[in-house]
Amino acid sequence: MMRILLVLLTALSLFAAPKTLDVRLIDVEGGKALLVMTPAGESLLIDAGWPAGNSREASTDRIVEDLKAAGLRQLDYLLISHYDLDHLGDVPRLVARFPVKHLVDHGPYTGDNAATQQRYGAYARLYERIPHIAVKAGDKLPLQGLDALVVTAAGKVITAPVNGGGAANPSCAANPRQAELPTDKEDNNSVGILFTLGKFRMLDLADLEAYKNYELACPNNLVGTVDVLQVNVHGQFKGMSPELVNALHPRVAMMGNGAKKGGDAPTWPLLRKTPDLEDIWQSHFSVNGGRENNPPEDFIANLEPDDHWKTLQLSASPDGTFTVTNGRNGFHKTYKPGEFR
């Protein structure tokens, strides 16, 4: 009888144990592919990396391999943050290789770049057979077991503070708004998501540039503080705005850079000055950054000149505890919860 009782208690304990939010920063050589798996078992892939061409292999094989390594048989949601080459990738090829239940994006491409129009057209034809959701700032993704608030989309940002946000931002006075860059504006159309699981918060703004970051941060910080920041624009300096990162107070920054794309030398010292930042984790050693503008090797998934497609993995619990693991060598670090700063 006692043995049966112990078995039942153990089973109940396992059943009651809080499930985790699991994130995999897939190495697509400075493109973007971020896999989010909710405690309820749903999956979201943000972006599809690169298509084949321009001296690059298609990211599809890497992504499919990692989706399978994560134990998935289908994707519940594929979110394309914006339509630049290194994010839209080759979605028709991806969905032919791996089932996708829903497509999510910021709506139609409205620019005049002929190559982007062609890529978007091939992608948008998938709407005919895969359910499609166009999101706007303030929407929530229909994920089970995880709050996923759209804070930016189609060039717009939220207008009201989220829970924990709204405080005046003293960094704004010292950091005036940067000029909008005179290029195709797809970066600033990026779908940006604030993920919340209990006390844990992670912000991913895709390729939102400094010009648009300012609207989230000034005069008031609309987002509040976060535990993890997925660094904008692969760590390119055009995505860095001190007024935003200083207000967010992230404990960890995760950067999906390539060896020679992103991880710009000026980005690293700016991040290091961020209040409360403990560590920066990177997909690749940044050749552009040089030794002084890279973290220790244990915090880098792929070292140069070797590249073995290694991921950075994050697992977070509702109590705010989270662990980041380097898929190259198994090095990991656990960050204990604390009150929002």
Q: Which amino acid belongs to residue 128? A: E
| Calpha distance 236→255 (Å, rounded) | 10
Is a pLDDT exceeding 80 seen at residue 156? yes
Above pLDDT 90, what percent of the chain? 86
Number of C-beta neighbours around residue 134 at 10 A: 15
Identify the sign of the CA torsion 219, 223, 228, 230: negative
- Return the ∠ at Cα 225 (arms to 204 and 185), rounded to 5°: 35
Signed CA dihedral, 106, 108, 113, 116: sign only: positive
What band does 5 get if pLDDT is binned at 50, 70 and 90? very low
d(CA 231, CA 271): 9
Please tell me the predicted confidence (pLDDT) of residue 18: 58
Domains of the chain, by residue range, sit at: 20-327
Q: Tell me: the pLDDT tens digits for 87-146?
A: 999 999 999 999 999 999 999 999 999 999 999 999 999 999 999 999 999 999 999 999
Fold of 20-327: Metallo-beta-lactamase; Chain A (3.60.15)
Contact partners, residue 305, CB within 8 Å, separation at least 6: none
Q: Is the pLDDT of residue 17 over 90?
A: no
pLDDT (0 to 100) of residue 99: 98
pLDDT in tens, 142-155: 999 999 999 999 99
Mention every residue, 6+ apart, whose C-beta is less than 8 A from residue 293: 263, 265, 267, 268, 269, 286
pLDDT confidence band for 52 (50 / 70 / 90): confident
User: Which letter does DSSP use for residue 329 in this model?
Assistant: T
The rounded radius of gyration (Å) of the Cα atoms in the chain is 20
Spatial neighbors of 146 by CB under 8 A, at least 6 apart, are: 21, 36, 38, 39, 40, 42, 195, 196, 197
CB 85 within 8 A of CB 111: no
SS3 70: coil
Q: Which residue's entry shows tokens 């001190």?
A: 242
Is the Cα dihedral 96, 108, 113, 178 positive or negative?
negative
Peptide bond between residue 219 and the one before it cis (omega within 30 degrees of 0): yes
Give the max Cα distance, the chain. Answer: 75
What's the average model confidence in pLDDT over 174-178?
A: 94
pLDDT of residue 281: 98
Is 230 in contact with 202 (CB distance < 8 Å)? Answer: yes
Q: How far is CA 180 from the centre of its chain?
A: 23
- Average model confidence (pLDDT) across the chain: 92
pLDDT above 70 covers a percentage of the chain that reads: 93
pLDDT value, residue 263: 94
Given a cut of 70, whether residue 255 has pLDDT beyond it is yes
User: How much is the average pLDDT of 59-87?
Assistant: 96
Token representation of residue 276 = 């409360």
Residue identified by tokens 């970066």 is 187
* Contact present, 311 and 25 (Cβ < 8 Å): yes
